[in-house]
A and B are shown apart, each in its own frame.
Chain A
Amino acid sequence: MAEAIVPQTKQQPVGDKISLITGSEAIAVACKLADVDVITAYPIRPYDTVMQYVAKMVSNGEMDCEYIVAEGEHSQFEIVKHASACGARVFCGSSGVGWMYAMEALTVTPALRIPMIAMVGNRALDDPGAFGTEHNDALAVRDLGWQLVWVDSAQEALDTALIAYRVAEDRRVFLPCAISCDGAFLTHSQAMVKVPSRAKVDAFLPRYNRGDLLLHPDNPITVAPQANEDWLMEIRRQTAAGMERSPMVIREAYKEFAQIFGRDYGNPFFEEYMTDDADVVLVGMGTLSTPVKVAIRQMRAEGKKVGFVRVRWFRPFAAEDLAKTLGRFKGVGVIDRDFSLGSPYESGVLTSEVRAALYPAANRPPLLGFIAGLGGREVTVPDVRKMSDMVQQAAAGKPQPATTWIGLRE
């Protein structure tokens, strides 16, 4: 009997274990698979679940790493920064104001060309207190040389962590990467995840090699001297060049990931959902993809041609690619789970970036910005329908406000 010919990337990969795990645990498992050498923890909800899983794996002898509980986020990030300079593969993470407490360390990490991988369990910034998700924490480092990626499932979290190590540690890039996981919706939600074998990971992820930047007595260099105006601009430019090479390296990594692991994410930078024949699209990041996709299926049943573009990589930002894609539609609505007070048109951060990306494009559809789901408030299906309707109105030439807060008590 003839066997069905299945493309390599569609085959069920051999040796994967299927586990019911949360987004946080998926990233902890990725750290184990990547044979991370030094990990630092400090508690803050919701990211800290990843460190609880790491701690358990260390105590059970499943993972061989130096696991250090720091006395604050600043130290947490400084410890792994220096460990990485000495040649160790490192992992770290935080949430909300914890991430902000580490800000000085976060600032110097890309400038030092430290390919640290961090998990951000996105959380609203204080005050007032809220455990729920908001993207302002991770976005605060958007100008500094951090690569920023948002994922929306535990599987994608695991896969992206492996990809992130490969991209960050590629000498053409050598910049840190923060993987954003929406607090609670992803950090604490379980899903079935295919956990690949160590052999596959070894085939995909080469050893971290710091080369001539290694801090070791065999390589007596002075790292981060006082350069001043004589040289600072040239050094900054080198860091910028690393970020400019990142998209190419990301594409390579996703391609090879699909070949080795059998999961093909298509365009690494953003996912398109029902966009082929769409009139208008919504754009967003992270787990709001779930209510958006549900609402789109409902609206499609009613004949409304709505699609969704989920941005994965926020840094580097695939501006040309995204502008070209969005130019196909009659209207675009960008959903921000963040705020940027006093920004142009009072938009959220993502909206401003998308608007900027569209400026040089040949085709610039009407663009609306929405602020939704702050502090972990649910973005509901009716919310999505409302946003979608407004975009359709704008597409039909009926003026709409540039920015609307959604689901807000009046």
Chain B
Amino acid sequence: MAVSDRELAELVKLRPTQGLDPFKGVKKLPLEEFFTSGHRTCQGCESALVMKLMVKAAGPRTVVLGSTGCMYVANTTYYSTSWVVPWMHTQLGSSGSAALGASAAFKALMRKGKIKDEPINVIAFCGDGGGADMGIGAISATLTHPDYNCLILMYDNESYANTDIQLSGSTPYGAHTTFSPPGSKKRIMHHRWKKNMAAMMAAGHPSCRFVSTVCMSYPVLAMNAVRKALTIGGPTFIHSLDPCPKGWDYDPMGSHELGELAVLTGIWPLWEVEDGTLRLIGKTRDIADGRLKRLPVRDYLLKQGRFAHFTDDDIAYFQSKVDETWNKWVIPGVIPFQRDIAADQPPA
């Protein structure tokens, strides 16, 4: 017998959320800021913009938990915190646990009448090192708990940018980092392909009702993803690609453009999965529907010093791998696996 949403909500005693409606456009955004001055991020830091717009989307009745990384070290210098909402440091691999713990505490205390009963947003953020590498187990565990409302947001600047730009499981193939410097004998030190983190979270966690990729070059889409993630209930996950002037080696004024290029080259597809339904979003949808032609990855790669050592062959290889995600994956740009056409034929 199928269990209705309402019955499920009763089973896990899910608490109501704030019911945040989507913003209707950039001119309709609230003026209040909950991430303000005081931070020490680099010029052109896209992740700082993620923090600012994430909490603008969430509003004042929000608790933010931040795992170790740029957005901890640069934003919370003692006596000059940039956070207007309550904020707490969590360990590098603990964004999932932090979200779960805060949400569980509010749930228990409200049920027992120990604090005022109201929906409080819980957001835990992590970088790609804290999320896709060290914290992936805790995030995965949290996404299996249907009974706790929380959002885990991974800001992905594609390296351990706070500790001197070391490669992470989210660093793209071939990128120059301090742990993968091109040398006279080995041009390509980093042979691993970037983890498909958001799709992994969406595909592997049936209790997680909302997963989305975002990029702050498309800020209203990103903020509405945050609002939807906080409204739908249960644990949710957002993966943001953040151009990083220091780690990617480009002029700080290029952040916005590089974010756009990541989407337009098809390297960073924008999509969301809501209750098991996948939607491609914005320019990514235009590409998939044939209204927009994917730009060559060369336009994206050669604007960044971290790929300056790439030869034409390297660029061609990178292009072929991106093409593969669009031409061969079972869901283009999102879910890998190629259909075995022969085996798919019905038996004779």
Query: B63-97: contact bitstring with A at CB < 8 Å (1 yes, 0 no)?
Result: 10100000011001111010111111111011011
- Give chain A residues whose Cβ lies under 8 Å from the Cβ of B73: 226
Query: A82-125: contact bitstring with B at CB < 8 Å (1 yes, 0 no)?
Result: 11111110000000000000001100100000000000000000
Cα distance, A82 to B111, chains bound together (Å):
18
Query: With A37-B109, A227-B78 given, is the CB distance from A86 to B97 under 8 Å?
Result: no
Is B105 in contact with A88, judged by CB distance below 8 angstroms?
yes
Is B88 in contact with A84, judged by CB distance below 8 angstroms?
no
Q: Is B102 an interface residue (CB 8 A)?
A: yes
Q: Is B181 an interface residue (CB 8 A)?
A: no
Cα distance, A207 to B78, chains bound together (Å):
30
Query: With A38-B104, A64-B111, A85-B102 given, is the CB distance from A217 to B86 under 8 Å?
Result: yes
Interface-located stretch among A71-79, A171-179, A305-313:
A71-79
Is B84 in contact with A79, judged by CB distance below 8 angstroms?
no
Q: Is B292 an interface residue (CB 8 A)?
A: no
Q: How large is the interface on A (under 10, 10 to 19, 20 to 34, 35 or more residues)?
A: 35 or more
- Give chain A residues whose Cβ lies under 8 Å from the Cβ of B100: 68, 75, 79, 82
Cα distance, A216 to B81, chains bound together (Å):
16
Interface-located stretch among B137-145, B182-190, B232-240:
B137-145
Is A220 in contact with B85, judged by CB distance below 8 angstroms?
yes
Q: Is A343 an interface residue (CB 8 A)?
A: no
Cα distance, A83 to B101, chains bound together (Å):
4
Query: With A223-B88, A226-B72 given, is the CB distance from A75 to B112 under 8 Å?
Result: no
Closest residue of chain A to B73, judged by CB? A226
- Give chain A residues whose Cβ lies under 8 Å from the Cβ of B63: 86, 215-217
Query: B103-146: contact bitstring with A at CB < 8 Å (1 yes, 0 no)?
Result: 01111110110110000100000000000000001101100010
Q: Within the complex, what minimum Cβ distance (angstroms) separates B47 from chain A?
A: 16
Is B89 in contact with A224, judged by CB distance below 8 angstroms?
yes
Q: Within the complex, what minimum Cβ distance (angstroms) separates A171 from chain B?
A: 17
Is B62 in contact with A81, judged by CB distance below 8 angstroms?
no
Is B78 in contact with A217, judged by CB distance below 8 angstroms?
no
- Give chain B residues whose Cβ lies under 8 Å from the Cβ of A216: 63, 86, 115, 120
Query: With A37-B109, A79-B101, A224-B88 given, is the CB distance from A87 to B114 under 8 Å?
Result: yes
B97 in complex: contacting residue of A64, A70, A215, A221, CB < 8 Å: A70
Q: Is B201 an interface residue (CB 8 A)?
A: no
Q: Is A219 an interface residue (CB 8 A)?
A: yes
Q: Is A80 an interface residue (CB 8 A)?
A: yes
Cα distance, A81 to B91, chains bound together (Å):
11
Is A215 in contact with B86, judged by CB distance below 8 angstroms?
yes
A66 in complex: contacting residue of B77, B91, B107, CB < 8 Å: B107
Closest residue of chain B to A230, judged by CB? B78
Closest residue of chain A to B84, judged by CB? A220
Q: Is B22 an interface residue (CB 8 A)?
A: no
Cα distance, A225 to B77, chains bound together (Å):
6
Q: Is A222 an interface residue (CB 8 A)?
A: yes
Is B105 in contact with A75, judged by CB distance below 8 angstroms?
no
Q: Is B192 an interface residue (CB 8 A)?
A: no
Is B94 in contact with A72, judged by CB distance below 8 angstroms?
no
- Give chain A residues whose Cβ lies under 8 Å from the Cβ of B93: 74
Is A223 in contact with B87, judged by CB distance below 8 angstroms?
yes
Most buried by B among A66, A71, A80, A207: A66
Is B89 in contact with A37, judged by CB distance below 8 angstroms?
no
Q: Is A138 an interface residue (CB 8 A)?
A: no
Q: Is A231 an interface residue (CB 8 A)?
A: yes
- Give chain B residues whose Cβ lies under 8 Å from the Cβ of A60: none
Cα distance, A222 to B97, chains bound together (Å):
18
Cα distance, A37 to B113, chains bound together (Å):
11
Closest residue of chain B to A85, judged by CB? B88
Is A71 in contact with B140, judged by CB distance below 8 angstroms?
yes
A residues 30-46 with Cβ under 8 Å of B?
35, 37-38
Residues of B within 8 A of A (CB): 60-63, 65, 72-73, 76-79, 81, 83-91, 93-94, 96-98, 100-102, 104-109, 111-112, 114-115, 120, 137-138, 140-141, 145
| CB<8 Å pairs between A and B, sample of 7 | A64-B112, A74-B93, A82-B97, A86-B101, A216-B86, A223-B89, A231-B79
